[in-house]
Each structure stands twice: as C-alpha cells, then as structure tokens.
Amino acid sequence: MLTTRPDRPRLIAPAYKWQALPTLIQNDPYLKGWNDTIFGNATAYFSLDPVVYHLDGDSGILDNAREVKMRIKAFAYVYHMTNDTKWVDRCWAEVQVSFVNLAIRCSLTRPLVECFYIWS
C-alpha cells in the first residue's frame, strides 16, 4: 500500500516552509516583490469572469487551459497565505466552468460518455 509521509509536500511545499514564508517575505525584498505580484495577479483575476474556452487557431484550447492554470495557482497561493476561503470558492468556479466548457467542446466531436471516459 502506498502512503505519503505527513512531512512531505502535498502540492508545492511542506508545512514548515509555508509557516516560514511570511517571515522570509518580510526580510527579503525579492520575495516581497514576488509575493506582491502573486497577490496582485490573484486580485486582478478575481474580478474577472472565469475563463471561457474558445478554439484559438492551431493551439486549440491550450491557451485557455494555461490561463486557468495561472489563475488557480495564484488563487491557491493567496488562499494558503491568508486562509480566506473566497479564494477556494473562486478556484472552484474556474474548475466548474472549465469542466463544462470542455464537456461542451468534447461533445461536439464525440459522445459525451466517451469524453468523461477520456478525462477519468
């Protein structure tokens, strides 16, 4: 049976690094700028509607997927730093809209059941 160690990161960093980050940000101008940029981006994304998928030339929906990923990373970081659940709710809104958009796009070319099988 595969188990994970509790001191290992789940997504980005282990707990002790998250706990140390506020102090590091206060004492390091580079990290403060980095933190301020992520908070600024998350705040700007928050005021926008969730990403609407549209086919974009040869890249298909790749640009849309990249934008969703950017937003979710920023929302997740800000949530982790603030524990304000509005950021989790906004992440979930992006995920829900993305899933619906992908389901619609996929169902135009395949039976919907096949689309869900592909994603699982």
pLDDT for 15: 79
Give the start-to-end residue ranges of the domains of the chain.
21-119
Could you tell me which residues come within 8 angstroms of residue 27 by beta carbon, excluding any fewer than 6 positions away? none
4-33, pLDDT tens digit by residue? 666 665 666 777 888 999 999 999 999 999
62-117 per-position pLDDT tens digit: 788 888 899 999 999 999 899 999 999 999 998 888 776 665 555 555 555 555 54
**pTM as predicted:** 0.74
Residue whose pair of structure tokens reads 């096949």 in the numeric block: 114
